Structure 1
Amino acid sequence: MRLLIIKPSSLGDIICSLPVAQSIRDQLPSAEISWVVKSRFADIVRRCPTINGEIIEFQHAPGFRGVLAIARVMQTLRKRHYDAVLDFQGLLRSGLMTWAANAPLKIGIADAREGSRFACNHIAPLPPAGKNSHAISKLLQFLPPLGLQPRLHSPVIMHGDSPDSLDHRLNRQRLVVMIPNSRGAHKEWRGFRELTCDLLNADPHCTVVWDSHLPWENPPLADTDRFVNLTRRSSLPQLIELLRRADLVVANDSGPLHMAAALGRPTLALFGPTSPERFGAFPPEEPRNRCLQAPAGDLSRLTVETVLRAALEMLPAMQTQRAAA
């Protein structure tokens, strides 16, 4: 079976889509799975071996250039043949791509926007929790129309690049990786500098690593040996491997949070105005995935003491598990 997944962006949305693609692979080992993605995120899809078909890239651009980029993708898809197209994005541009694709089955999602559902001939229903369901739970509803079970099976495999060339300290045990940024300041907790100082004082064996596509000022540390600031220094493939090494990942609602969860790493997620039920680390019932919701959705009311206590509670358990392994 030849399948096309249309999920151009964003990083977190793509990461949440990969486990569903892995479920397809597990249930249809011979499937050829292709993907439409923005060029800036293509390397993530390319690093997942379950995507074994064509990766169709396009450059995101405003105005007329963006329209031309979408038109080129549509032209490419008219020349291909698929057994099914899965519009995971549910927006106008993905609807146009779905409409252009040559396939007898075109699946969209019930809460699609901008008229994209009219390009589909089958609409995947929402899970029992409706629009408040987790993004991955929604995407799993695409599987029954393919004759597959709507559940996850094996973990996602993503191949990263070693980050060792960035700093030799990244080989240490008991790494705590912190992701201080998110998409939008309203989703960014501002206590990471203080948390880093307090965690290094409370746990003399851990090393804290910051990673972000935006620069963040170092915390005021007297001893900087156990702190590594990789902001604006690492690539996405290096981030994959860094997260894989982490004993704990502390992050806002962001793409790296979902990447860490997909890699099976322990996560401490900090949520403010967005819903952890919809956008938290998946699966939410997994003990390694813990979420702190700010009072009234206001991240300024989430105290450093609360986050520090949760991190210290998770670290000993993770260290014990790693030692046992």
Structure 2
Amino acid sequence: MSDKPYNLLITRLSAIGDCIATLPMAAAIKAAMPNARITWAVSCAARQLLEICPDVDRVISVPKRYLRTPSDLMAMRRQLREQPLDCVLDPQSLTKSAALGWMSNAPLRIGFAKPRGRELAPWMNTVSVDSDPELHVIDAQAELLRPLDIVPGKPQFNLNIPDDVSQWAQQHVMESVGDPNPVIMNPGAGWDSKMWPAERFGQVAAWLRNEHKIPTLIVWAGQRERELAEQIRQVSGDTAVLAADTSLVQLAAVLKQAKLFLSSDTGPMHLAVAVGTRCVTLHGPTRPELSGPYGPEHLSIQKARFDGTSRQRRSADNWSMRAIEVVDVCAGLTQMLSRSSRAAA
């Protein structure tokens, strides 16, 4: 269509995993409109990844509580109006994301209708798109492109990892575990209810070494995850090794080296998917068909499901994750490793 917008703003502020899951939207826009200029507003560490995404032309950092601080609010308004915007795409569809589009003065602001669109977002956006609540988040976000007559193909996660970072990751993995392609695991999660017990990760790492002669590398971020990683190492009998503290770009390069990646529903899982690493993921308070690793090459394990509201699921304990036993995870890893063996043959 001749009147397709040229200057577009994506308002996906957080979280890291959700920002990664939105990368295919930017790729689909660029594939359909190669001359489009995409600006992305973000308020989390995902900025590091957006800066190496060739589909994103400009990144705007948004203070997390900008709506509560008049000076931040006015600064964001000025920044958003530095260049005229034709369209805003609001996959987050919360007040804090929709308000950016509203302040930008863009004539076309596309977000979700309820229930995906929440708070004031459906009223602040000019077009509200109905979306099947049973769609995976990546497929749901693709529906926001319908008003632009864009029909996305297979989701693409375009990240240009610098060569020096890739070389560092290859060397670091080899020096850490003596294998260029270990199993990599991450014990963290944004919600306590999504945490699988660290001691079980350690038992899985010991099993991988004893049964398959495969080493394990543990990636982590922050003091809490480092403590969990140390616990995993101890339980594994030192068969699991802690990776270095990494940036998100370094983490992407490290994950690309993995034979398999094991974690709960968390940001590093989406990053592993983005760099083409196969995942075994553990789910309790979230549904893998909605927010798990995208594509049939991955394996998700869920033994109990908690179907409360988002707030209830976030604040619950991890009983639904504890329903997953070590034997369940070992069976899943065996299945995925056998796929690798057949593919190699």
TM-score for both structures, normalised by structure 1: 0.88
Q: Which amino acid aligns with 2:98?
A: G
Alignment of structure 1 residues 278-289 onto 2, 5 Å: 278-283=290-295, 286=296, 288-289=297-298
- Write the deviation string for residues 141-163 of structure 1: whole angstroms up to 9, x where unpaired: 11121121144354433426333
Q: 2:146 aligns with which of 144, 147, 156?
A: 144
Query: Which residues in structure 2 correspond to 1:209-288 (within 5 Å)?
Result: 209-213=217-221, 214-215=225-226, 216=228, 217=230, 218-220=232-234, 224=238, 227-230=240-243, 233-283=245-295, 286=296, 288=297
User: SS at 2:25's partner residue?
Assistant: helix
Tell me how far apart the structure 2 counterparts of residues 208 and 123 of structure 1 sit (CA, whole Å).
45
Tell me the equivalent position of 1:317.
Answer: 339
What is aligned with 2:310? none
Structure 2: distance between partners of 1:56 and 1:21: 15
- Asked whether the 8 Å contact 1:7–1:89 carries over to 2, the reply is yes
SS in 1 for 2:23: helix
The 3 A distance-change label for structure 1 pair 131 and 61 is same
What is the aligned length? 312
Alignment of 1:30-179 (within 5 A): 30-38=35-43, 40-51=45-56, 53-61=57-65, 64-65=68-69, 68-110=71-113, 111-126=116-131, 130-152=132-154, 154-159=156-161, 161=165, 162-163=168-169, 166=172, 168-169=175-176, 172-179=179-186
> What is the alpha-carbon distance in structure 2 between the residues aligned to residue 73 and residue 147 of structure 1?
30
For the 8 Å contact 2:176–2:243, the answer to whether it is kept is: no
**Contact (CA 8 Å) 1:83, 1:105: kept in 2 or not?**
yes
Q: 1:68 to 1:290 in 2, by over 3 A?
A: farther
Superposition deviation, residue 243 in structure 1? 1.1
In structure 2, do the counterparts of structure 1 residues 135 and 115 end up closer, same or farther at CA, with 3 Å as the change threshold? same
Is 2:174 the partner of 1:183?
A: no
The answer (yes or no) to whether the contact 1:266–1:318 under 8 Å persists in 2 is no
Q: Supply the distance in 1 between the matched residues of 2:75 and 2:303 (Cα, whole angstroms).
A: 44
Q: Name the counterpart of 2:314.
A: none
Q: Distance in 1 between matches of 2:337 and 2:64?
A: 40
Q: Name stretches of at least 5 consecutive residues in structure 2 with no aligned partner.
A: 1-5, 307-319
- Alpha-carbon deviation of 1:312? 1.6
> For the structure 1 residues 109 and 62, does the alpha-carbon distance in structure 2 shift closer, same or farther, using more than 3 Å as the test?
closer
The match for 1:198 is 207
Q: Specify which of 277, 297, 301 is matched with residue 292 of structure 1.
A: 301
Structure 2 letter corresponding to 1:212:
W
Deviation at 1:180, TM superposition (A): 0.8
Quote how far apart the aligned CAs of 1:301 are: 1.4
Distance 2:302 2:236 in 1: 31
1:319: how far off? Answer: 4.7
Q: Deviations over 1:20-62 (max 9, x none)?
A: 21111122222211100115321111121111x2211123258
Work out the percentage of aligned pairs sharing the same amino acid. 26
Structure 1 residue runs without a partner (length 5+)? none
Q: 1:230 to 1:169 in 2, by over 3 A?
A: closer
Shift, 1:248, TM fit: 0.4
The whole-number CA distance in structure 1 between the counterparts of 2:156 and 2:203 is 38
CA distance in structure 1 between the partners assigned to 2:299 and 2:177 by the alignment: 24
Cα displacement (A) at 1:63: 8.5
Give 1:238's aligned amino acid. Answer: Q
The answer on whether the counterparts of 1:6 and 1:85 sit within 8 Å (CA) in structure 2 is yes
Residue 207 (structure 1) aligned with residue 218 (structure 2): no
TM-score by length of 2: 0.83
